[in-house]
Amino acid sequence: MKAKVYVTLKPSVLDPQGKAIHHSAEQLGFQQITDIRQGKYFELALDDSVSETEAREAAEKIAADVLANPVIEDYRVEIVQ
Amino acid sequence: MKAKVYVTLKPSVLDPQGKAIHHSAEQLGFQQITDIRQGKYFELALDDSVSETEAREAAEKIAADVLANPVIEDYRVEIVQ
C-alpha cells in the first residue's frame, strides 16, 4: 500500500521560495501565471500487511510529527492501493 | 484557475533525502513504513482569462522548463478550476 503526503505552507505564511520561482517564471515570459507557491510531496511505501485504516493513521502521524511543521504548514494524506 | 505540479525523482534515481527521512522514521518507531521518497509540489495561480487548455499548456511548459529536471525527474500536472 502507498500513501501520498502533500505539505503546503499555510496561506497566511509568506513563501519567499515560491516568490523567487514566480519572478523567474515572469522573466521567462510566463505572464499568465500570477502566483507560485512551493510545497513538499512524499511517497510512503507501507508494509502490505497493514490495513487501509492503519496506513492512514501511520501516514497522518508521520505527516504531523516528522514531515510537516503544523505551526506553519498544512498537510494532506492520500492512500493509494 | 489553479494548476498543481507534482515533481518526483524517476524510480531509477537514488533518493538519499528520502532514505534519511525513512531512517529517522524507523528510529521513531514507524516500522510499517518500508520506503519514503521525497518530491516537490507547486501550486500555480493562473490569470482567470486563460482557458483550461492554455492553463495546461503553460503549466506543462513551466514544469518541463523550470520546475523539474526531465533528465532525472518526472512531473505531473493537474488543473483545478
* Mean pLDDT taken over chain A: 94
CB contact under 8 A, B37 and A43: yes
pLDDT in tens, A16-50: 999 999 999 999 999 999 999 999 999 999 998 98
Which whole-number Å values give the CA distances from A27 to A23, B16, B69, in the listed order?
6, 32, 19
Q: What is the spatial distance between Cα A10 and Cα B57, in angstroms, rounded to a whole number?
A: 27
Give the model's confidence band at B34: pLDDT under 50 very low, under 70 low, under 90 confident, else very high: very high
Give the model's confidence band at A81: pLDDT under 50 very low, under 70 low, under 90 confident, else very high: confident
Q: What is the pLDDT of residue A57?
A: 93
Q: CA nearest A7: which of B23, B43, B20?
A: B43
Q: What is the spatial distance between Cα A64 and Cα A43, in angstroms, rounded to a whole number?
A: 15
pLDDT in tens, B3-31: 999 999 999 999 999 999 999 999 999 99
Q: What is the pLDDT of residue A77?
A: 96
- Whole-model pTM: value is 0.88
Who among A34, A39, A61 is closest to B41 (CB)?
A: A39
Q: ipTM value of the model?
A: 0.85
Q: Residue B81: pLDDT above 90?
A: no
CB contact under 8 A, A40 and B44: no
Q: How far is B73 from chain A (nearest CA, A)?
A: 13
Q: What is the pLDDT of residue B35?
A: 95
Q: Taking the CB of residue A9, how many other CB atoms lie within 10 A of it?
A: 20
Q: Residue A59: pLDDT above 90?
A: yes
Best probe of the A interface among B17, B24, B33, B52, by most A CBs < 10 A, is B33
Who among B6, B28, B58 is closest to A41 (CB)?
A: B6
Taking residues B54-75, report their average pLDDT: 94
Domains of chain A: 2-80 (3.30.1280.10)
Q: What is the spatial distance between Cα A65 and Cα A67, in angstroms, rounded to a whole number?
A: 6
